[in-house]
Amino acid sequence: MGDLDGKVALITGAARGQGAAAARAFVREGARVVIADVSDDAGKALADELGEAAYYRHLDVSSEDDWTSAVADAVRTFGALHVLVNNAGVLHFSAVADTALADYERVVRINQFGCFLGMKTAIPALKAAGGGSIVNVSSVEGLAGMPFTVAYASSKFAIRGMTKVAALELGPDNIRVNSVHPGMIDTKMVQDAIGGGAEVDLSPVTKKLALRRMGRSEEIAELVLFLASDRSSYCTGGEFVADGGSTATHALNIS
Ligand SMILES: NC(=O)c1ccc[n+]([C@@H]2O[C@H](COP(=O)([O-])OP(=O)(O)OC[C@H]3O[C@@H](n4cnc5c(N)ncnc54)[C@H](O)[C@@H]3O)[C@@H](O)[C@H]2O)c1
């Protein structure tokens, strides 16, 4: 018996990183999964690896049209939709005074509008399935500020807020909505944003953490799996932190 037997899930940004780890964990636990992303080659390769329980779907989360057709296709292909994981995201570093409006808008369109559009579009399908779970991937930057992340932090705080609003509205329909707040996780996202894809030494940052290391995608996937499954049946509107202890301290920490 798997934790997600009989469930159908759509995971955005699932071609790589934490989304791909969630897709693997979901299939392991009996779900059928739509791997949604704009990175077509990587998404198709993951779908091939996962076999009949998964297929790849091109979905730009900032496009309402893409959302409408992707959700309809998921229901047509797998018969229902029970779980939505709004995981797709992009990171951009720049000082507030130096942030181009175009960069701010790009980040907010993907991270914030994408999460909103995903919930808005999936809600009728989740209701039709008799209920379900929405997991919105925010960040520790949705809990506290960090310099040079004005667009990213704005979008991640927004996700935390809209999660609570949706949880309050959808509880009577047996739809639970929670946010996940990872700390620094070992994926390409940070490297892409800082080093243009090149390896960047993050050890000076990680040595300040209680656990003294970055997190792994699989560790976040286990939390997302818990929130997607009925094992978290009394959790809604909650903020679930998996950050190696990064938010356990504050700037006056002398260690
Ligand atoms: N890596 C970290 O340290 C960290 C920390 C906290 C939160 N997060 C969040 O976790 C989530 C997953 O990030 P990751 O670390 O796996 O990064 P990643 O860069 O490895 O994966 C992000 C995925 O999102 C996809 N994507 C980008 N724009 C898209 C769009 N418009 N439509 C659909 N898909 C799109 C990318 O193609 C990629 O496959 C993101 O929301 C990110 O903000 C990451």
The residue with greater pLDDT, 171 or 206, is 171
- From 55, 56, 104, 152, the catalytic residue: 152
Active site residue 152: yes
> Which residues 6+ apart lie within 8 Å of 26 measured at CB?
4, 7, 9, 11, 33, 83, 225, 228
**Can you tell me the mean pLDDT for 170-180?**
99
Q: Using one digit for the tens of pLDDT, what is the confidence trace for 138-157? A: 999 999 999 999 999 999 99
Amino acid at 95: A
Rounded Cα gap, residues 175 and 127, in angstroms: 7
Distance 165 CA to ligand 1 centre (A): 23
When mean pLDDT is compared across 9-23, 189-203, 234-248, the lowest value belongs to 189-203
Q: What is the pTM of this model?
A: 0.98
Q: Set out the domains of the chain in order of their start, with CATH numbers.
A: 8-239 (3.40.50.720)
pLDDT at 198 (0 to 100):
77
- The encoded tokens of residue 233 equal 């049946």
Q: Which numbered atom of ligand 1 lies nearest the CA of 18?
A: 16
> Which residues 6+ apart lie within 8 Å of 165 measured at CB?
none
Whether ligand 1 lies within 6 angstroms of the CB of 118 is answered as: no
Given a cut of 80, whether residue 196 has pLDDT beyond it is no
Q: Binning pLDDT at 50, 70 and 90, where does residue 255 land? A: confident
Whether ligand 1 lies within 6 angstroms of the CB of 142 is answered as: no
Q: Binning pLDDT at 50, 70 and 90, where does residue 126 land? A: very high
Q: Whose CA is nearest to atom 42 of ligand 1?
A: 89
Q: What is the mean pLDDT of the chain?
A: 97
**Can you tell me the mean pLDDT for 188-211?**
85
Strand pairing report for 132-137 and 8-12:
unpaired
Q: Whose CA is nearest to atom 1 of ligand 1?
A: 185
Q: Which numbered atom of ligand 1 lies nearest the CA of 185?
A: 3
Distance 118 CA to ligand 1 centre (A): 15
Place of tokens 């989304």: 19
**Can you tell me the mean pLDDT for 231-246?**
98
pLDDT at 201 (0 to 100):
85
Q: Whose CA is nearest to atom 20 of ligand 1?
A: 17
pLDDT at 195 (0 to 100):
72
- The encoded tokens of residue 50 equal 């996962």
Instruction: Return the H-helix or E-strand segment holding 12.
Output: strand 8-12
Contact criterion met (CB below 8 Å) for 224 and 181: no
Q: Using one digit for the tens of pLDDT, what is the confidence trace for 79-94? A: 999 999 999 999 999 9
pLDDT at 254 (0 to 100):
85
Rounded to a whole number, what is the largest CA-CA distance in the chain?
Answer: 56
Q: Binning pLDDT at 50, 70 and 90, where does residue 190 land? A: confident
Q: Which numbered atom of ligand 1 lies nearest the CA of 214?
A: 3
pLDDT at 55 (0 to 100):
98
Rounded Cα gap, residues 24 and 47, in angstroms: 10
Q: Binning pLDDT at 50, 70 and 90, where does residue 40 land? A: very high
**Crossing angle for the helix pair 114-128 and 64-78, nearest 10 degrees?**
30
